[in-house]
Amino acid sequence: MKPLGKIAVPWAWYLGIVGIIIFDVVAAITMLALVPTKMPDRVNSGLVALGGSYAPPMNRETLVARVIAGAVLILVISLGVSLLISAQSKNLAADHPEASAVQLARRWSFLNNIQSCIGWFSFFLAAILSISALRLNGPGVVGHFEMAVYIIAIAVLAWTLMVSLRRGQMLIDRAIPIREDDSQLKWGIIYHDASDKRVFVELEDGHTTVINMARGGAWLLIGVMVLPALAVVAWVLLGN
């Protein structure tokens, strides 16, 4: 088996997010210059969505910070995860000397699957947050229907991410089949066994129960838990 190379960081997607941030800054300053009388006097803070009342006066610095906050947060988090994945993939053999070549290949493929999805997911999430932030902090009133569209778009994007990750894992199973002597915790991180029909699996130690990510019910369970949390986070970031 060929040596495993370092997984590249999807810099193109992250440069795209930088472009979104630059566009946000230009658009915010332009709005404030062209239609100052139609802009809100104060900019609601995300704390308002949590029951607070803090609303700083409208000025250029406040507006720009408010508009780019979501995209900057997404960029920092996603880029950090990508750099961590890239660094970990380079040292898989050294970090897991007891693992077989097949196990290392599966772990590397698992990390590569995440890396291939996180770039486009971060870009489109940053784009949605930026568009909504410009609308919420710009002239005009944003209705409940438009807010619902933004929340639904984020939920659909998150679901698309989970589906893409699952498809990638299925391709890994076909290319690098699980062997009987492989660990129950596939890739050393999660349990993924297409031949096991259970969703909740108790490991051999008798004290650990994991979710079998090869079953559709597991992904549905994660979606039920994750999507409402994403909706709340998005609601706060959008400053309802």
> How far apart are alpha carbons 223 and 225 in whole angstroms?
5
> How far apart are alpha carbons 200 and 39 in whole angstroms?
52
pLDDT tens sequence across 101-156: 777 787 788 888 889 899 999 999 999 989 988 888 777 777 788 888 888 888 88
**pTM of the full predicted structure?**
0.70
pLDDT tens sequence across 193-216: 666 666 666 655 444 556 667 777
For residues 42-49, average pLDDT: 51
What percent of the chain lies above the pLDDT cut of 90?
14
